[in-house]
Structure 1
């Protein structure tokens, strides 16, 4: 297995604060690697080390098989980076900023103009392409910042919460555009707080907390390994929700009980299967008819909260 990114025992400290504490992982070529964690977990610091913006305190990082400290300049020529702070040159229009960025990366003139036009259309920038940075909303600046990184053909793209400030339609456009380039061979290192995005885009996910890696697997693998919580959904045939709660509550004591609709009860529990049997038996004894029953697997968000909670 050939790795595009290979991180071994990475540590980064700021004074007495250890932001990254012995992190190790690998990212295969042509894959999307999701890096998840709560605020202050060490995600952005890790990205800044990997993109050569800050030096590691210890450990090794190899990108394209090359040490990032010894081959910093060569590596920077082959990567793209979108950090959390959306910005571009204040005195440039959106269109000019894209073209100038392409020029900085030595993209030929006609190709540069064609690509800028394509990105303006794809990221829905046409209505404000002649506006300058300080005239744009945060979401608009973010779209420009992400589009800018596609002006050149990077081999590895770092996206640190790229959909921050974007509406749902713009988020999906961005994710689909990234996925299209991944199909063409791009490797992506991706952080987000939106679990649906991670599940939609990522081939593999690592969870970091307090500077340490605590879980790594595919989205499906994480659910299987750490998804102890499952959701029971019971739909009643004729009875009202309230009329059966005195039966449900004693059995589901300590679990999360929700009523998303009249006649529907949803219970989240680590003992879903055993609880379901008891509930069905009790409802039957009380002559309560059930229309349907389902046990749903945990969401990635439930897994994330469960894993992070164990580290508290």
Structure 2
């Protein structure tokens, strides 16, 4: 009974999954569960094991050890069954140089045996959704890098799938196209699709993902929602204060506990603290007693990017 419930709840379950190349361990016995109908962010620095993990999950390479269950299917015993139910957009460019944009979409639908009427409707929907309608007759070879990337991602939605793997899908896209793609993905998840998503743009992960795992040196070092990662690792806040006089702020504030002055230009003061409210009150008292007028101030929460860098740095220590 427990196993049946687990299959219904999770699109991906991996236990002690590993991959070695000789003496080099690329992925070191990781455990993960990805809920159905969620967007799961998989983050890590270059060489951390992200792409290797994705290649195992998409059955492109076999693991060296461990177990993986994809959509209720044993990923080691039945890789072909899994491939029928998933979509994959890898980081490497992939396009048909001589085909037009609309013909590329059409061909991909045919490859997946999508019936003609549905195929035609999907081509039109995707041309609009990915802002490709104006270049539908252009050959892929004549497109910009960003346009090719949009075609590469769009064509994956020509077929039905339960789970989609996206490896750096917004590479080469301008901010407008990037936001359009992320919003399109959000809409598909509302229809029940599960997405496994890698990116180096932490704002994307924060905007898009329900849960996030951080991997470094082949090991998972943190798994949680973006909000809980912030609560767990992002207690520090940044205080920025603009004053109207040139002063040695570092010396003035040296006695305040839990107060790290990161930048002091004389008129701009940047402080980090996990006790931001108390520290700010102390700073304002000191500035007032020294007759230093404050022009502007702000307290900024720690960003997901700062947390990512901190978690990775601590795992390397």
User: Given the two structures, how large is their TM-score scaled by the length of structure 1?
Assistant: 0.91
Residues in 2 aligned to 1:16 and 1:102: alpha-carbon distance in whole angstroms: 42
> Is residue 311 from structure 1 mapped to residue 310 from structure 2 by the alignment?
no
> Is residue 279 from structure 1 mapped to residue 283 from structure 2 by the alignment?
yes
Aligned position for 1:147: 154
How do residues 1-312 of structure 1 correspond to structure 2 at under 5 angstroms? 2-236=9-243, 239-240=244-245, 242-243=246-247, 245=249, 250=254, 255-257=261-263, 265-270=269-274, 272-273=276-277, 275-290=279-294, 293-312=297-316
Q: CA shift at 1:44, angstroms?
A: 0.7
Residues in 2 aligned to 1:232 and 1:78: alpha-carbon distance in whole angstroms: 49
The 3 A distance-change label for structure 1 pair 178 and 246 is closer
Q: CA shift at 1:268, angstroms?
A: 2.9
Which secondary structure state, in structure 2, belongs to the residue aligned with residue 287 of structure 1? coil
Which secondary structure state, in structure 2, belongs to the residue aligned with residue 86 of structure 1? coil
Residues in 2 aligned to 1:272 and 1:123: alpha-carbon distance in whole angstroms: 43
Which secondary structure state, in structure 1, belongs to the residue aligned with residue 230 of structure 2? helix
Residue pair 2:238, 2:272 contacting (<8 A) in 1 also: yes
The 3 A distance-change label for structure 1 pair 254 and 265 is closer
Q: CA shift at 1:284, angstroms?
A: 1.8
Residues in 1 aligned to 2:52 and 2:60: alpha-carbon distance in whole angstroms: 9
Superposition RMSD in Å: 2.2
Give the unaligned 5+ runs of structure 2.
1-5
Q: CA shift at 1:33, angstroms?
A: 0.4
Aligned position for 2:3: none
The 3 A distance-change label for structure 1 pair 248 and 173 is farther
Residue pair 2:130, 2:180 contacting (<8 A) in 1 also: yes
Residues in 2 aligned to 1:303 and 1:112: alpha-carbon distance in whole angstroms: 43
* Count of residues in Structure 1 that have an aligned counterpart in Structure 2: 307
Residues in 2 aligned to 1:100 and 1:251: alpha-carbon distance in whole angstroms: 69
Q: CA shift at 1:194, angstroms?
A: 0.6
User: Given the two structures, how large is their TM-score scaled by the length of structure 2?
Assistant: 0.90
Q: CA shift at 1:295, angstroms?
A: 3.1
Deviations 1:161-204 (A, max 9, x none): 10001000000000000000001111000000111100111000
